[in-house]
Structure 1
Amino acid sequence: MAHHTHHHHASDDETGMAELLDLDAEVLHPLLTEMTALLEELAGDTPPRRILDLGSGTGAGTLALLQRFGEAEAVAVDASESMLLRLHEKARELGLADRIHTVQADLDDEWPPLDTVDLVWASASLHHLADPDRGLREIFAALRPGGLLAVLELDSFPRFLPEDLGFGRPGFEERCHAALAEQRGHDLPDLGSDWGPRLSRAGFAVKVERVFDVELTPPLPAAAGRYAEATLRRGGARLRGLLSPDDQAVLDALLDEGGPHHVLRRTDLTVRATRTAWVAGRP
């Protein structure tokens, strides 16, 4: 496997996305813990020794799986070299670097050669593929008979704000989500798909489908506020020109670090997120 160690200057967008992924993993860590425990239960007496993380990002899944399965090694595949470098930095801090190989590859192009693996992890990555059904066929080919595929997907981005923000604009967050959903319908048509039938068509046997509902209420850890700010800032960049002038003014006020209404100064933030997991086996 290719092991990329040379330096790459990340774009501002990649840097912001990496920070968001790290915050997502920190705030929603209990979800990762539940998922890896479920995989340990399903693996039974044959824990995975070879793990493939597709669309690994900064490595939340890779690292959680290696901590769960102490004898395993992992291959992390991502299109972003800067995210793979960040993954390695985190792995070194945890003493896991010698158990990880990284492969930089755009999975919409030719897939890299992959050795047979026992477990494939695909968290919020399948919906990014231009042809997810082709991706599932590639995964099926890489997975040993009896091996497991774990798919973790989101229906939409998390929610943080109360219905009434105090700006005289109730329902602001829902309008933002509706505008983003309309935009994503063109850019990411497979976001929110029911992956169960697609897994079956690809030859997998679906073992578990589980919905994880996360709701964190005040007082929140500091990371949750930063997670809300990063999500709003990233979403706000996509919403520019899509909101009414009044809603745009609300968003600007929430993201104005020097202003009195900045999101980190609010005491009524919550974290509400839904993720759906499918675990399937190769017969």
Structure 2
Amino acid sequence: MTHTADDHGQAELLDLDAEVLAEHIAAIAAWLPVEASPREIVDLGCGTGTGTFALLARFPHAHVTAVDAAAEHLHRLREKARERGVAGQVRTVQADLDEAWPDLGEPDLVWASASLHHMADPDRTLRRVHDTLAPRGLLAVVELAGFPRFLPVDAPENRPGLEERLHAASEPFHAEHVPHRGADWGPRLTAAGFTAAGERTITVDVARSRSEAVARYALQGLRRLREAVAGALSAEDLTALDELLDTDGPGSILRRPDLAVRTERAVWAARRA
């Protein structure tokens, strides 16, 4: 198995996301308006298993088919399943969902968290999910309202407002590479044949004092953001950002006590009529 540096970096970011936002993800799983406990679940774009394990905690007798394009993600997910004693309830499928659609059986529940906006044709994906679900089966779509913020608005001290400028600089990159990010999935679910079953927005505000993983999450998140925006930043902003990302330096983000993860998660639930 070949792992790339990008696979490892993304996998670590996903693991940190799961650790920091565990309570919010569990709350979403608890809210799902299922008519009966699902026996067969598909985690579409599963990453390293955040949704898979939250759903197994909510539905402990279910089996999950975890689908992702990255071998590294699935490798980590299988390791976690073994560590948690649920390997017999998890099947992994490596597939590019923009290409050939894998055999996913007839699930009662499909979970798509932060995955639909990466699809080249998400409306086609929704139609495929609709046709895959069992009658009255449920689809849950979970999306972040943009990338989290970590710093106070007046930070860092030598370049206040740096983080907002980073996000503004990233907009053209994201508009080109992930044009469906931030979409309103409600009308698109209806167009794909689903019946709306619920919608909610969850506010996320996790201070570093509640989880030391917040600092590592901020470090990995801002490292990835730098890859997208470095060419669009002023020299002063790039220097200030690099000081934050220098883990050995006095200005390292790992040394800041004022970090938090601030964002929103939007959730849509829809049923196959």
Corresponding position of 1:102: 92
> 1:132-177, CA deviations, whole angstroms, 9 ceiling, x for partnerless residues?
0000010001101111000001121110101122433221110101
Aligned-pair Cα RMSD in Å:
1.0
CA distance in 2, matches of 1:105, 1:226: 29
Counterpart in the other structure of 1:20:
13
Is 1:79 the counterpart of 2:72 in the alignment?
A: no
Aligned-pair CA distance for 1:218: 4.6
**What is residue 43 of structure 1 aligned with on the other side?**
34
1:1-150 maps to which residues of 2 (within 5 A)? 8-39=1-32, 42-44=33-35, 46-150=36-140
Distance in 2 between the 1:214 and 1:74 partners? Answer: 27
CA contact (8 A) 1:220 1:270 kept: no
Q: Deviations over 1:89-143 (max 9, x none)?
A: 0010100100011111001111112211100000000000000000001000110
Partner residue in 1 for 2:252: 262
Identity level (%): 52
Partner SS, residue 257 of structure 1:
coil
Task: Give the aligned length.
Answer: 273
Alignment-mate amino acid for residue 122 of structure 2: P
For normalisation by structure 1, the TM-score amounts to 0.94
1:100–1:218 CA distance, 2 compared to 1 (3 A): closer
Q: Distance in 2 between matches of 1:122 and 1:43?
A: 15
- TM-score, normalised to structure 2, is 0.97
Unpaired stretches in structure 1, ≥5 consecutive residues: 1-7
State the SS of the aligned residue for 2:201.
Answer: strand
Tell me how far 1:217 sits from its aligned partner: 2.7
Alignment match of 1:242 (pick from 222, 232, 235): 232
Q: Are the aligned partners of 2:20 and 2:206 in contact in 1 as well (CA < 8 Å)?
A: no
Amino acid at match of 2:45: G
1:210 matches 2:203: no
Partner amino acid for 1:231?
A: G
Single out whichever of 193-202 and 235-244 deviates more from structure 2. Answer: 235-244
